[in-house]
Amino acid sequence: MESFFEIAIRHSKRYDLTASNIQIIDRKQTLGELDFLIFDHERSKTIHVELVYKLYIYDPSFETEIKRWIGPNRRDSFYEKLEKLKTRQFPLIFKPETSEYLDDLGIEVNEIEQQLCFKAHLYLPQNSRTKNAIGVMGNYYNLTDFQNMPWKDHLFYSPKKKEWSCSPEKNQNWYSYPELMDNIQSMLADKRSPMVWMKTQTGYHRYFIVWW
């Protein structure tokens, strides 16, 4: 996603890319990284942009709403990412160690505006409605519920993680239901939740099958 963002900035008439993926290092220890510094010609201002792209599923078992968006493998969450942005990633620009990098670029820290570009694909429990919901790509199932769905005559593909943001319409490799189950059983046993694309006579669908 960072590569796509950088390409978009380089083709923009309004923005110039000043620097990207700036690692802040102090005595051989990496303190953090600034994703992008871009210059907005329309406002004559340097902007520090943190870019986030995540896939979250909605788990209603959590007590508070903000904590219900979690990673498919339960190893990260929207709430944890926001806390990291607030306590680590955005404050990094004000650390003394960062000023050396900004000085080399001829930028004053008090002239920088910080912005967040947060993109996400969202997956809801199996009985939730998805129509017209912004960012919602599909549903998720546990293995038993998935096996009970009347889908065994359709075609399937389980994309690798680097393909998760791709469109299933572009895929050319499709497998039968038994072949899909052979491919994902080991992932579920290792506590990894596979994404599944399904091709029907009328369209394409995306799902997660969660191990928990």
The DSSP line for 119-170 is: EEEEEEETTS--TT-TTEEEEEEEHHHHHTSS-TTSEEE---GGGTTS-GGG
b/e map 56-72, b = 16+ CB within 10 Å:
bbbbeeeeeeeebbbbb
Question: What pTM was estimated for this model as a whole?
Answer: 0.89
Closest by Cα among 33, 34, 35, 75 to 57: 75
CB 120 within 8 Å of CB 53 = yes
b/e map 119-133, b = 16+ CB within 10 Å:
ebbbbbeeeeeeeee
Amino acid at 156: F
Q: Where are the domains of the chain?
A: 2-119, 138-210
DSSP result, 82-129:
HHHIIIIITGGGGSHHHHHHHHHHT--GGGEEEEEEEEEEEEEETTS-
CB 197 within 8 Å of CB 206 = yes
Per-residue pLDDT of the chain (212 residues; tens, 9 = 90+): 999 999 999 999 999 999 999 999 988 889 999 999 999 999 999 999 999 999 999 999 999 999 999 999 999 999 999 999 999 999 999 999 999 999 999 999 999 999 999 999 999 999 886 555 789 999 999 999 999 999 999 999 999 999 999 999 999 999 999 999 999 999 999 999 999 999 999 999 999 999 99
